[in-house]
Amino acid sequence: MKKVLLIILSLILFSVRPAEARKSMALVSVSVTDMKKLPDYQSETVSQAMMGTPVEVTGKESYWYSIVTPEGYSGWTTEQNIVLLTEEAMEQWRQAERLIVRDYFALVTMAPADGAEVLSDCVMGNILVKDNTPEKNGFTPVMLPDGRKGYVPSESVASLSKWMEAAAEPSGEDIVATARQFLGFPYLWGGLSSKGMDCSGLVKLSYFLNGIILLRDASQQIDTGEALDFSDVRNNLHPGDLVFFGRSATDTRGRSVSHVGISMGNGMMIHSSLRVRINSLLPERPDSYVSKKIVGACRILGHQDKEPGIVTVLEHPWYF
């Protein structure tokens, strides 16, 4: 009898794996969820993920899940903000007709009418599934990641696949035009949505809304794409290029990257610093930002799907 119990106990122990060893897929189910450094509300927010973003779940502590975003960034969020999916359900989502929110903000309501009860808020870049019922009164039927069904103003959404196909080869001017839509929006540490964004969050969001997934942090983005000579920012940096600030490497310490902006061409850039704003990269101008030291610059466009850190949404297996 003792031997039988030992065998049973051994089978149980070997069948149970640590939480971090079990991996599954999920979708973010709220307009924007904070990603925490640790599974604690008081922990630092390291990033955000938006509704409809597919994430990999790598662990669980109490009601907190550790998640990995499509570009490989890790953090913790609560169980209320994601929906776990089976492989079959994930594949159904990939094959479904999906919509992307193109307005700054939109509401999903229970009925196709202004003033109807709200199911959820949405922000630009959120992804919804189109429901197979007719459009009514200028509202499109949709399904949220958690399965709830409602209506969103038709003018606030567009077909995800058509949106991404149209954005397959964006120009630098397209990237700048997207970033300009957020002028005056507040700086938010760890933010990357229209509710607030940090410097690399503005870069990431501007590229994502043009169909390209970049790495999350400025310290990561600087090592992607084509390195540029930043000694002549007026002539060498084109619209859409990224310019980085921080501390140069020395014999005793490494390079430190603390800020990133998007070149607008002609020595100007748009960036999130206190708020999303435009500054000059030229020292002689009164709106110059060169009190901060430039430590690098890179060109992203032309390098899509040629390296892991620059991947189009259409080619990312978590989306399509």
pLDDT band, residue 231 (cuts 50/70/90) = very high
- Residue identified by tokens 């938006």 is 50
Over 90: is that where the pLDDT of 202 sits?
A: yes
pLDDT band, residue 4 (cuts 50/70/90) = very low
Over 90: is that where the pLDDT of 165 sits?
A: no
Number of C-beta neighbours around residue 181 at 10 A: 14
Look at residue 285 in the predicted model and tell me its pLDDT: 86
Look at residue 22 in the predicted model and tell me its pLDDT: 54
Look at residue 10 in the predicted model and tell me its pLDDT: 40
Look at residue 19 in the predicted model and tell me its pLDDT: 41
Look at residue 6 in the predicted model and tell me its pLDDT: 40
Look at residue 45 in the predicted model and tell me its pLDDT: 97
Look at residue 196 in the predicted model and tell me its pLDDT: 97
Over 70: is that where the pLDDT of 5 sits?
A: no
Over 80: is that where the pLDDT of 13 sits?
A: no
Query: For residue 53, how far is the Cα from the chain centroid?
Result: 8
Higher pLDDT, 85 or 14: 85
Q: Contact 67/35 with Cβ under 8 angstroms? A: yes
Average pLDDT of the residues of the chain: 92
Q: Contact 269/263 with Cβ under 8 angstroms? A: yes
pTM over 0.95: no
The proportion of the chain whose per-residue pLDDT surpasses 90, expressed as a percent, equals 84
- Residue identified by tokens 């169980």 is 79
Look at residue 16 in the predicted model and tell me its pLDDT: 37
Q: What number is the average pLDDT over the span 231-241?
A: 96
CA distance 61 to 273: 35
Q: Left if phi > 0, otherwise alpha if psi is -120 to 50, otherwise beta: which for 14? A: alpha
**pLDDT tens string 77-128:** 999 999 999 999 999 999 999 999 999 999 999 999 999 999 999 999 999 9
What sections of 1-86 are H helices per DSSP? 2-15
Report the SS3 class of residue 231: coil
Over 70: is that where the pLDDT of 21 sits?
A: no
Look at residue 11 in the predicted model and tell me its pLDDT: 38
CA distance 172 to 78: 37
Q: How far is CA 311 from CA 54, 204, 306, in A?
A: 15, 12, 8
Look at residue 84 in the predicted model and tell me its pLDDT: 97
**pLDDT tens string 237-279:** 999 999 999 998 888 888 899 999 999 999 999 999 999 999 9
**pLDDT tens string 174-190:** 999 999 999 999 999 99
